[in-house]
Copies of this chain bind each other. A is one copy, B any other.
């Protein structure tokens, strides 16, 4: 595995916010966003519009809420944590297609994209 292959593997874990936003605007529901933050509701404050709230620590027990026909997009507070990747691994191991949202909630918020109260 060379640097290029390594980077492609790494970047292949992510999805760009543009794709999620276009899907949201078109109402095509190709992607389902999941907020995997483990924090209590009062700490979360808001979340990405229409995102499911499934804390990473509950994900393994709540897989029946998901569908193999959807593509899942998971996010945590920032891109500097590992929670979204832990959630990804659970989803991969159970046969779901999933990506980590590039930039995480921090990036989404910074670009003033649609949020809603939790």
Contact = CB atoms under 8 A, between A and B. Distances in A.
Contacts of A14: 82
Query: Is chain A's binding surface mostly helix, strand, loop or mixed?
Result: helix
Integer count of this chain's copies in the complex: 3
Contacts of A102: 81-83
Interface residues of A, number: 29
Contact of A80 (B3, B7, B104): B104
A9 B3 contact: yes
A3 B13 contact: yes
A8 interface: yes
Interface of A: 1, 3-4, 6-14, 78-83, 85-86, 88-89, 92-93, 102-104, 106-107
